[in-house]
Chain A
């Protein structure tokens, strides 16, 4: 990864934040049924997309790590999982606030929402295992990541099971948006994609440095240089 990746992604994301915030409140028209609270939609959906991307990256990296045992893939999986926890927290928090505004309740016990919560809990479990499970934590966590990744298509495709939540898929809410709303939504997704790249790449570098430092310390201990 180029050393310019993080700065460029940060600059693009920052510009995107400013532009999309202006567009959300000034450019995008008011939605006729949901009215002003629909403004939450643009960042809520962008975060949900990035959550799925992060979980996908984490799952694929975990599979490759289990196959090759190359720790670089494990670093990527860890970085993606931590970012996915943050994005997932935003999705759940904003979804809950939006539910309160639109439906009058903070939470509805319906299938898609439950699955989203479960996915987030699996990701939290991944991070906890990585932190506290000791020597074999990487392989144990990789298994958990696979379990979480399997949930993603279920959540996305669970169109007909959802009573309250706006529908996804080819005939869903995002696909039938008026052009101005669609433009703002996809710009928000692009912005958060840049933000996601910046976070993951910098976290990968940090995880790699942590691992290399740990290995160096072990070598120094083995050589009797330090105690």
Chain B
């Protein structure tokens, strides 16, 4: 019996401190907002404006980043094209050398060396 009395004494302040739960508070808040039509419309307008501003900022980010991505891929293709040009020029030089050597050998054969 004494234990029960002590337990009740301890639990009473705890019960007194416990307020409404978060879902209850949310319901109260929603009811308060919906009760005032002007306030409700203001809240909706504010939320819409905030969302629109977020989208605009994200769009700006994408636009800015797009330039860098295009620049990055352009740099890759330009360097690749430059390297292919270098290979092609080397091959052309080699072909010219082969033709020159063939001509020199043909001339040597004609002269009967």
Contact = CB atoms under 8 A, between A and B. Distances in A.
Contacts of A152: none
A183 interface: no
Interface stretch (A143-151, A169-177, A217-225): A217-225
Nearest to A95: B72
A14 interface: no
B101 A101 contact: no
Interface of A: 35-37, 39-40, 43-44, 47, 82-83, 86, 89-90, 93-94, 97-98, 100-101, 199, 202-203, 206, 209-210, 213, 216-217, 220, 224-226
Given A213-B101, A225-B104, A225-B108, 7 more contacts: A40-B69, A43-B73, A82-B83, A101-B64, A101-B65, A213-B98, A226-B101
A94 B107 CA distance: 52
Contact of A94 (B62, B72, B87): B72
B87 A203 contact: yes
Nearest to A214: B97
Contact of A36 (B61, B73, B91): B61
Interface stretch (B4-12, B27-35, B38-46, B74-82): B74-82
A90 B79 contact: yes
Interface of B: 61-62, 64-66, 68-69, 71-73, 75-76, 79-80, 82-83, 86-87, 90-91, 94, 97-98, 101, 104-105, 108, 113
Contacts of B113: 224-225
A97 B67 CA distance: 10
8 contacts: A36-B62, A37-B68, A40-B73, A43-B72, A93-B75, A97-B75, A98-B72, A217-B101
Contacts of B80: 86, 90
A217 B100 CA distance: 10
Contact of B104 (A83, A93, A203, A226): A226
Contacts of B66: 36
Given A86-B79, A94-B75, A213-B98, A101 B62 contact: no
Contacts of A224: 113
Contacts of B83: 82-83, 86, 199
Contacts of A206: 87, 90-91, 94
Contacts of B101: 213, 216-217, 220, 226
A12 B16 CA distance: 75
Nearest to B111: A225
A37 B64 CA distance: 9
